[in-house]
Structure 1
């Protein structure tokens, strides 16, 4: 009887293995290109006054959403990591752009792929025997990517990212190779986002196009950053914002042209999405001023503190020196509650329950989200600082309408001219998994059946 039971179990195991193998080999899309336009807002393709003719044509040929909800905080690194894991920051571990440094922020970012705690599309593609590539995709330093140009720079020298980027490129020869065959010699400003220039996005698109033509990776991800930069600098509406949107659209066209030249356009799932929307801001609210006045921050550099807020654009997250210090949490809530209405109009408190619901940093007992054009700072000298002009930021709780980002995709397996009212960035990975057939763990996202033929 034991022998028969063993044979039955072995038979079931073989069937499960076969099913797993079929899943890893089936799917209408042999290739995936995932493009993020940092600060991508839905109106960029829903409103014809923006110059996104290529992306609008993709929407006609494929699928789109009128809005896509980011994670909290709605900032670049957590959202980009959600896009390639299908889970929230609470699970994948990239809670912010910059780690909380209690003695003072140094300028370090969460670049290292080894900080990610869950399966990624990079690793899953490799397990399926597929090649991968990235072009300035966040959190890819040390990532298991065949053709890797990560987003990485010297935080002590923002003026020239080339030495750090080149040293982190995989293979090391690739940095020179793309200059020889895609961009020409790259100066420092050629990969920066300053001086009212768009050349950085142009070069990232040229590099992506070259990799597609030369190596035909099965999964390629590229990050275009110019739109975000100019929205921070000028707010939601300005000449350079609209120029960068049109420039990003041309970058998408460059990538499509390369897919055609490579002969793989018909078998490629092309996704254009973002990481967050944008809100105009007029002031910075500094909650650490309250904590310092109350004696909860005495000398942070010397380690003499009980609580600090870690600011992340439109969000601020309470960090405790003692994770079990409930008395300090109650004191902070009291300080916020005692503020006059003139100050309370600048923020809303995000409870621990809400933080858990959206999968934010699990170590945070409460957070703040900005209201009425307010961002957060780390200053302790004054409570509110007013800007001299309108600016822009993100990081807000995902229930903010203006913080929604966009999503457009076309390719095999998708139903043409399909537009859904809303989705989440969590839902992108399930779509890629479905259309490529790779094996992947359960995600926090859901497959949007309306997108599928």
Structure 2
């Protein structure tokens, strides 16, 4: 399973076309695999989406509610990286219980999990002396012994290593060394480059080329046969950032957020950015009057900023300390800021805000490529959670905390199992 942040359907088609008619493994996958449609809605940022994928349940039940760790001053809130924050058993747990050998590289919420080869690439320097200390203490013992220790002895500087290059290099090594029954790899460089620099920037073009090379390397090392499964998972389409909204400035005016200069100090209610959405967190123990005050203030903001405020019924326990009561949703290109200080969306580098230049579009579907026994044909669709249930079932596994039913035929499916609106990736 390869998840690529920032990759969309057109990228898949472009990457599958190799020069001079050569058919690489990515082109072969694109030609043979079934496109599975991930419906609009649900989490649009990578970490929450991938958490729902490997648990088969909604983001309100996974324990990973945000892309960046919520309230990073508090260790218990670092759900983006640590497996202990997962509130629902994952596909890795089910695979290990079935006696399968597992590996997770740069996959969210896996540090400290029961995974044979685990390289989470945690970014939590407050708790560790340096990057090597951080990598070795959060990776699995076998990962350290087989792949990290030799690199440290050779003098590799992790602070200078490109994460995706390291991840793909180790994935190729691991596949050559031993059998792995479940390998999950996340490549994040393309999404980072496109968000920071813009969709058509030279850095984004290079990042797409690098991502294609890394996918090719992993697929070549895996060399899937008829009994193997491959799932290539892109993210939501990215669009140029067009509107920057600071809902926490409104909450600060109501006394619900306290600041120290431009820094957030404490809060009773806080809107946490999820790319094109703002997720309204209320600290547990606050009364209904606080929630009502926050929703009233945000309703006023929504009316003047082309936003919609949607209440949430199942957001209890979204993080260790907060419940989610509502979500602010903007039109395509809306970006939500965390700061309680209003700043405009400007071109160039602003000392307070210099990005992102692109943001995911939650109204856009995504198209995953699936190949192998038990995986469905073209024409099915569902949520990230449905895809996880379907993947587990193809492996003969059950996700005990799943709330989704699995992928199902889409509204445009015909009698042959094809889908009238499901885009097909073509390759030359």
Same fold flag (TM > 0.5):
yes
Where do 5+ consecutive residues of structure 1 fail to align? Answer: 1-33, 193-199
SS in 2 for 1:279: strand
Whole-Å Cα distance in 2 between the matches of residues 86 and 225 of structure 1? 22
SS in 1 for 2:347: strand
Query: Kindly tell me: are residues 248 and 302 of structure 1, through their superposed partners in 2, closer, same or farther at Cα, counting changes over 3 Å?
Result: closer
SS in 2 for 1:388: coil
Aligned residues: 397
Give 1:40's aligned residue.
7
Query: Kindly tell me: are residues 208 and 304 of structure 1, through their superposed partners in 2, closer, same or farther at Cα, counting changes over 3 Å?
Result: closer
Give 1:438's aligned residue.
397
Whole-Å Cα distance in 2 between the matches of residues 275 and 159 of structure 1? 33
8 Å contact 2:106–2:186 — kept in the other structure? yes
8 Å contact 1:134–1:147 — kept in the other structure? yes
Note the C-alpha offset of 1:324.
Answer: 5.1
Give 2:193's aligned residue.
230
SS in 2 for 1:408: strand
1:271 to 2:242 alignment = no
8 Å contact 2:128–2:134 — kept in the other structure? no
| Residue from 223, 237, 240 that aligns with 2:203 | 240
Note the C-alpha offset of 1:434.
Answer: 2.4
8 Å contact 2:117–2:142 — kept in the other structure? no
Give 2:366's aligned residue.
405
Note the C-alpha offset of 1:251.
Answer: 1.7
Aligned 1:299-314 pairs, distance under 5 A: 305-314=267-276
Give 2:305's aligned residue.
344
Whole-Å Cα distance in 1 between the matches of residues 92 and 62 of structure 2? 14
Note the C-alpha offset of 1:164.
Answer: 0.9
Query: Kindly tell me: are residues 367 and 185 of structure 1, through their superposed partners in 2, closer, same or farther at Cα, counting changes over 3 Å?
Result: same
Note the C-alpha offset of 1:409.
Answer: 1.8
Give 1:419's aligned residue.
378
Note the C-alpha offset of 1:360.
Answer: 6.9
SS in 2 for 1:385: coil
Give 1:20's aligned residue.
none
TM-score, L = length of structure 1: 0.75
8 Å contact 2:79–2:86 — kept in the other structure? no
Note the C-alpha offset of 1:256.
Answer: 2.1
Where do 5+ consecutive residues of structure 2 fail to align? Answer: 349-354, 410-415, 419-428
RMSD after superposition: 3.9
Instruction: String of CA shifts for 1:57-108, please: whole Å, max 9, x gaps.
Output: 3132121135554633x22221121121111122221111344439899995
SS in 2 for 1:365: strand
Whole-Å Cα distance in 2 between the matches of residues 173 and 360 of structure 1? 31
Instruction: String of CA shifts for 1:313-356, please: whole Å, max 9, x gaps.
Output: 32222233465533333333333344596x422x2212225x76
Give 1:27's aligned residue.
none
Query: Kindly tell me: are residues 171 and 265 of structure 1, through their superposed partners in 2, closer, same or farther at Cα, counting changes over 3 Å?
Result: farther
Note the C-alpha offset of 1:222.
Answer: 0.8
Give 1:13's aligned residue.
none
Aligned 1:88-99 pairs, distance under 5 A: 88-99=58-69
8 Å contact 2:280–2:326 — kept in the other structure? yes
8 Å contact 2:79–2:85 — kept in the other structure? no
